[in-house]
A and B are shown apart, each in its own frame.
Chain A
């Protein structure tokens, strides 16, 4: 974003070299754990004895992936997460785009009160128990919609969107009005199309949020058939009480040669579940700098 500043020198300054070293080290530290995940996911059971296999892959074995992909619970959780992500993004984008656009209208009576009420929720809330009871009374217990509706609005994104709409010149809307368009028509036919990249960024933000959702599921969903991917991962990775990790464990114990190494299975689950994020990441990366820039904090 600062590409066109005057600092376009060809030569490496001392500062550049120092910055390169610091950034390089930081990048290695940041990236290494993910590389580690990849290596372990393809490690053979016997590889544990080799002390250095963590840095370089010494074995290549896809049986962890095979076992993972045979697990029905894994597919159910993926299915649930896909539903939550797709429907969730539609829900979140519809209400936040419309709401943010309306809230960007400075002349609307009551706008300041609405904005203050919304901002206040960033700093004060009823806490977990009242929230739980209200959401329970609304019928969201063991209902997949809990990850779509109560989870579906991000105040921070709403404010950034509102600030973004404020930057669109009013003359655009006024000329459309002269042609007889109403406000809804203007939003859907003019404003949204011209801000497509911006909208895409926030749709992706919401998509990542929904894909990573587990807190609402932890609290409101006890029915395993409705659990999203992150709950499945939690069981496999952290509490280790998923059927799958127990299976791998017993398999490994029974035959010492062992077919699947439990950490390999866990890391394979991480790899597979992260594929969608890795796929959308380049798009996210391309746009979020601009998105955040127009948004800033204040409005």
Chain B
């Protein structure tokens, strides 16, 4: 992401031959650009960085009348409580398991789909399939959950099929052993088409002459995939994998999906850190200081994961994110 300030385009290099401009002059030259970027910077300051300052709340007991600044410090007390809080522990492990399983069950799917679509030679039909498979991405989890709840309800299509084959009607949404698979399957359902687009873009960037040459040399489809398509895809796969691992705890256990699908019978397997924070803070009325500490633990683990994934990718000879 960090381009050096001196650029490589020939046009600019002429400029560098000219006597060096003072920094003040350069800044003045870019005055309109600073004006343009200002709203964005203000937005991030208010909605990303100000809450980051609010993280100090994790070391305080929240006092409504005093606000973040005036609340009394309690040191590491909140973090000590965390270690012995069974609800936090459950939420933490649920988050880890659901996120990891989602990564394992979902991540390869869009790659496979992209390869199948790429190799599929009927152009019009390819478009048609893509159109259908991408559609659910644009529907909110609220609506999708409504549909899923209906399908899995007592007289929904799922139980009709079960009964057709002589099974007993059940509802996976209130079944502790079936709830998580519902999350994994519906996640693939919503995102497979959308996520495959970026891989299709990477595949489209490969020089077709490489494929032609390979075909002339007698390479079969599998060989071509292995030796041409895969090397072309690899760096995209690596970058996306790092991104996903970095956001594992945040996006992996999507609040939107779980919150709209779960109910008290499955809290024990589905209550994640995010839903736990929301439920406790806004419906039960937990201490904001303690709940901030819960959030901080999650963010720190995310950062460690990102760093680990990036380091690993670099070791494997990929570029990494930073």
Contacts and interface: CB of A to CB of B under 8 A. Distances in A.
Interface residues of A, number: 111
Contacts of A118: 40, 44
Contact of A109 (B23, B62, B123, B321): B23
Contacts of B54: 126, 129-131, 133-134
Interface in A68-127: 94-96, 98-99, 101-103, 105-109, 112, 114-119, 121-127
Given A107-B7, A131-B54, A187 B143 contact: no
A206 B287 CA distance: 35
Interface stretch (B85-93, B95-103, B200-208): B200-208
Contact of B147 (A36, A99, A121, A215): A36
Determine which residue in B11, B27, B129 has the highest number of CB atoms from chain A within 10 A of its CB, and name it.
B129
Determine which residue in B2, B43, B203, B256 has the highest number of CB atoms from chain A within 10 A of its CB, and name it.
B43
Bin the interface of chain B by size.
Answer: 35 or more
Interface stretch (A194-202, A246-254, A270-278): A270-278
Instruction: Report whether over half of chain A's contact residues are helix, strand or loop; otherwise say mixed.
Output: helix
A183 B34 CA distance: 11
B319 to A, nearest CB: 8
B165 interface: no
A266 B155 contact: no
A107 B5 contact: yes
Contact of B292 (A7, A127, A170, A215): A127
Interface of A: 1-9, 12-13, 15-16, 19-20, 22-24, 26-27, 29-31, 33-34, 36-37, 40, 48, 51-52, 54-55, 94-96, 98-99, 101-103, 105-109, 112, 114-119, 121-135, 137-138, 149-150, 152-153, 158, 170-171, 174, 182-184, 187, 208, 212, 214-215, 219, 230, 233-234, 236-238, 263, 266-267, 270, 273-274, 277, 281, 284-285, 288-289, 292-293, 296-299
6 contacts: A112-B2, A133-B288, A134-B54, A237-B145, A296-B236, A297-B239
